[in-house]
Amino acid sequence: MIGYLLRRLLGAIPLLLGILTIIFFVMQLAPGDPTTTLFSNPNVPPEVIEQMRENLGLNQPLHIQYWRWLTSFLVGDWGTSFGQNRPIADILPATLWNTLQLTLISLVIIFALGMLIGIVQAVRQYSIADNVLTFVALFFYSMPSFWLALMLILVFSMKAAEWGWPAWLQLPASQMTTVGAEYLPPGEQLVDRIKHLILPAIALGIGSAAGVARYMRGSMLEVIHQDFIRTARAKGLSERTVIFKHALRNALIPIITLLGLYLPFLLSGAVLVETIFAWPGMGRLIVDAIFQRDYPLVMATSFVIAAIVVLGNLLSDVLYAVVDPRIRND
């Protein structure tokens, strides 16, 4: 197991390097550099821009820029953001944590809700509930997350007050906390934070939850029709034990691989959802950085995102091996 982990981690290195190299050269291919956005003011004399480009190292040949960036990146010096004028090492951890909060809560929603719906559908196959849930799942699966986010805001933060819904259904539509939340007692701070999390997490997760439900239904149905389930029923186990203990465990195995599949998807969605809910996370950071041609920040953010995805894939493979002893990685 340890050997397998090490081999996988080593295999991830060229992958990450490849992604970084591609992004580096795509950014360099594009017209314009950070100075064009920093000094779009026509009153700035060209000498100043030249000096600025020299200071930032932008007038060097491409391969030298690449080499210099790569070597300093590898030793941990991630440089300074052009746009925010702060070291990237100061910016990244906080935003990363914000995004992780959002995506982890979404992941919980995705798998809990998706699996629950899938199990209900499989146990009551071809019933009305199954058909209705299938269609509802398809509806949410086909929905753009940004539109769902807007509709949630429309209903829960704008119309809820108008229609006189109870206070706990009126949810905030932007930022991570209410203004001045830091003066509240810790209990209320937590409530405030959770209230701010609900809408973005739902907008981000529900589409993928519908996807998980589709997989879960199929995988559960496949297990339920196998012989050992009939044996379990025959020896007089209660239906609950049969479904949750015997069937579910086996149906979960293929679902675990979805964890790795949904991570890049979630991070894509996070870009949109964070933009809409003004959530200060990686998605917004990278979009802002791209528009400002903030090369070092874009590279660092891309690296972190790619690393999360690679780690997620690794985690899902390891879990897969842990859950299913038939699979031998080495």
Partner 1 sequence: MRASPDVESVPPEPLPNAGNAMAGAPVRAAGVTWTRIAAAVLAWGLLSGLVMLSSPKVVGLREARRVQVDMYVAILTLALLFLGLLWWTVKGVVLRGSRPARARGDSQWAIAGRHFRKNRMAMAGLLIMILLYLVTLITPLIAPYDPAAQGDIVMTRYLPPSWDHPMGTDKFGRDIFSRVLYGARISLSIGFIAVGISVTLGTLVGAVGGYFGGMVDSILMRLTDMMLSFPRLVLLIVVIALFEPSIWLVVTVLGLTGWMGTARIVRGEVLSLREREFVQAARALGMGDMRIILRHVVPNTLAPVIVSATLGIGLTILTEASLSFLGLGVQPPTPSWGNMVADGRDALIQAWWIATFPGLAIVFTVIAFNLLGDGLRDALDPRLRT
Helix ranges (DSSP H) in the chain: 2-29, 34-38, 46-56, 62-74, 88-123, 128-141, 145-152, 160-162, 186-224, 227-234, 239-241, 248-276, 282-291, 295-323
DSSP 100-139: HHHHHHHHHHHHHHHHHHHHHHHHTTTSHHHHHHHHHHHH
Tell me if residue 307 falls in helix, strand or coil.
Answer: helix
What distance lies between CA 190 and its chain's CA centroid? Answer: 22
Q: Tell me the closest approach of the beta carbon of residue 303 to partner 1, in angstroms.
A: 10
Task: Kindly tell me which of 40 and 43 has the beta carbon lying closer to partner 1.
Answer: 40
Contact 285, 301 (CB under 8 A): yes
Q: Tell me the closest approach of the beta carbon of residue 242 to partner 1, in angstroms.
A: 25
Task: Kindly tell me which of 216 and 243 has the beta carbon lying closer to partner 1.
Answer: 216
Q: Tell me the closest approach of the beta carbon of residue 7 to partner 1, in angstroms.
A: 15
d(CA 296, CA 294): 6
Task: Kindly tell me which of 181 and 264 has the beta carbon lying closer to partner 1.
Answer: 264
In residues, how long is the chain? 330
Q: Tell me the closest approach of the beta carbon of residue 187 to partner 1, in angstroms.
A: 32
Q: Tell me the closest approach of the beta carbon of residue 150 to partner 1, in angstroms.
A: 5
Task: Kindly tell me which of 92 and 276 has the beta carbon lying closer to partner 1.
Answer: 276
Task: Kindly tell me which of 60 and 134 has the beta carbon lying closer to partner 1.
Answer: 134
| Cα distances (angstroms) measured from residue 137 to each of 88, 146, 155 | 41, 17, 20
Write out the residues near partner 1 by the rule CB under 8 A. Answer: 14-15, 18-19, 22-23, 26-27, 29-32, 138-139, 141-147, 150-151, 153-154, 158, 264-265, 267-269, 271-272, 275-276, 283, 286-287, 290-291, 293, 298, 302, 305-306, 309-310, 313
Q: Tell me the closest approach of the beta carbon of residue 168 to partner 1, in angstroms.
A: 21
Task: Kindly tell me which of 176 and 286 has the beta carbon lying closer to partner 1.
Answer: 286
